[in-house]
Amino acid sequence: MDFWEIIFTPKEPAKHLIAILAYVWILFGCILPATAVNNRIASADQTFHILVNDKDREYLIHIPPSCKTNEGCPVVLIFHGGGSSAKGILEETGWAEKADEESFIAVFPEGISPDPSKPASFLKNPQTWNDGSDRTSLSAVKQNAPDVAFVSAILADLKTKYSVDETRIYATGFSNGASMTFRVARELSQEIAAIAPISGADWLPNAIPARPVPILYITGTADPLNPIEGGEIHLGQRSLGVKPPIQETIDRWLKIHGYTNNSAVIYQDESTTGIAFGPEDSPGVVLYTIEGHGHHWPGGNSALPKSIAGPNTAAINATDIIWKFFKLYERPAID
């Protein structure tokens, strides 16, 4: 369940919208000054348009100077959460800075909104992903948007523009974007070397990937929108649907990889535990849980209010941890 879904749930009292408007101003008006954002986009990033099923789709890239000249740069796809945008998650997560440090192409696809003919808007025209769920409150699901085809088209387009290391294409995302990341791993496993969903559900347990994609999953134990124990989600007295337990998702991926439940703790501090399953040097399934953390990108610039998303307590930087995980993997050669 994403923040915008709560806002747009039918019959929600209007008084909640008044408070949320203030939250939205905080979230999208105060993370960075507008001039700073515009200067970065103008100087370092570029938006491309492609046709997918005769519809115009967009994606933003951040490409370090080294990837304009080097042979074979890795690619990281970063999927925003429901109601957010490519620019929003770029600024929130630090993936552009990480791309500069590590010489890879950071790609930020734009979801689809209820009315693509109008500018995307968090409140009036929110962008979402067709993540394989049956949640028709998401416009992308309701429209049956061809988002997997969109991802395939992005990768094909990138390969015509830059020298891409096709064995090192990765995907990550937050919330509804995390669910889209799961879907990409299941349906485009021959393209994707590894994934790292954060605070989202895997809605397609019956879509068996052609190859077992390594997965790093990160979530908070106090996330009200993606409960670690699963179950029904509420806003006040209103039910907003049911999510599966996190362990159920991990068990699905252990089965995909053919692992038993044997595990090893690979990270431990006062609030965070990292558990790995599989070979010691390249575990195929890794779970990080953050005690007391809510629905926020760990270490990012989230301004979601505690009343909606729970506390923001993470002491780790998810972007750093994810990139270290991704560097362990290359996609095997395709026969």
CA separation for the pair 43, 60 (Å, rounded)? 13
Written as six digits, the tokens of 239 are 């039910």
Closest CA to 115 of 107, 125, 123: 125
Residue ranges of domains in the chain, CATH in brackets: 3-326 (3.40.50.1820)
- Residue 20's φ and ψ, nearest 5 degrees, are -70, -30
Looking at residue 84, what is its pLDDT?
Answer: 92
Rounded distance between C-alpha atoms, residue 233 and residue 220, angstroms: 15
What pLDDT shows up at residue 107? Answer: 98
Ordered per-residue pLDDT tens for the chain, 335 residues: 444 444 434 444 444 443 443 333 333 333 333 333 333 333 358 999 999 999 999 999 999 988 877 789 999 999 999 889 999 999 999 999 999 999 999 999 999 999 888 888 877 899 999 999 988 888 899 999 999 999 999 999 999 999 999 999 999 999 999 999 999 999 999 999 999 999 999 999 999 999 999 999 999 999 999 999 998 876 566 555 688 899 999 999 999 999 987 899 999 999 999 999 999 889 999 999 999 999 999 999 886 788 889 999 999 999 999 999 999 999 987 76
Give the 3-state DSSP-derived string for 13-46, with helices as H, strands as E and coil as C: CHHHHHHHHHHHHHHHHCCCCHHHHHHHHHHHEE
Nearest alpha-carbon partner for 213 in 162, 171, 175, 179: 171
Q: From CA 6, how far away is CA 9, in angstroms rounded?
A: 5
Sequence-separated (6 or more) residues with CB below 8 Å from residue 279 = none
